[in-house]
Structure 1
């Protein structure tokens, strides 16, 4: 951190790892910077959280049970991505809606074609769109 006399105007983070760039291209795993901010380290921490959401590695998978699929169908229906029946069946329409949703939310790198969902995506959906209204 640094940038002015107080050392509190900017912050940056660069992490390199072979082949860790977006889509496996390049070596820049994390390359973030904050310029002209009252709390640059705090803002850098927030940006790192956003970066991890969009580009982090999948660490935990959650099986798509019927109850969970109903919850996802409800969220997808309320957000305009799913028009089918809320029935707990992970069919093509539900899978396509989830894939479209994840693409819209820039979470496409975390989409899976099997009967599991990345826990980060599930937590994001629950936090952002909450339980059934």
Structure 2
């Protein structure tokens, strides 16, 4: 993802000694014209203030940002055993009545994962969150 290298650099700098003033804040701001959730050009505008482990907290927030606003990465086709698994997870969660891909889209929209949907299959993070939702049930 776009900000992963920036975040890794920030964490490496922190591990190497960081800012002499301490770990009070950390931020990640990335832009690219015509991109972002609403095409505003802002890929991420994340900030942690007044936190004893600000770089680590920024990494946690970045992971959530990537989950909710990231694009699908290497989706697996929803066929065979994978489709059966997804169908079973959705059924257990009460998301039934349509084709597996349609029901997955319904579930993903309620989990705020619609950006990670793909017409070619299921994103690994969506699958992981679907499994987590099933376990939490």
TM-score by length of 2: 0.73
2:122 aligns to what? 117
Pair 1:129-2:130 in alignment: no
Equivalent residues in 2 for 1:90-101 (5 A)? 92-101=98-107
Contact 2:24 2:50 in 1 (8 A): yes
Q: CA deviation at 1:98?
A: 0.7
Are residues 38 and 78 of structure 1, via their aligned partners in 2, closer, same or farther at CA, if it must alter by over 3 Å?
farther
Structure 2 residue 95 is the aligned partner of structure 1 residue 103: no
Q: What's the counterpart of residue 77 of structure 1?
A: 91
**Structure with the higher fraction of residues in helix conformation:** 2
1:38: Cα distance to partner? 2.2
The CA deviation at 1:127 is 4.3
Contact 2:71 2:115 in 1 (8 A): no
1-structure distance, mates of 2:42, 2:129: 25
Q: TM-score if structure 1 supplies the norm length?
A: 0.75
8 A Cα contact 2:72 2:118, kept in partner: no
CA RMSD of aligned residues (A): 2.3
Among 55, 62, 65, the alignment partner of 1:48 is 62
Offset of residue 6 of structure 1: 4.5
Structure 2 unmatched ranges of 5 or more: 1-9, 11-19
Distance change >3 Å, CA 57–CA 93, structure 1 → 2: closer
Structure 1 segments unaligned to the other structure (5+ residues) = 85-91
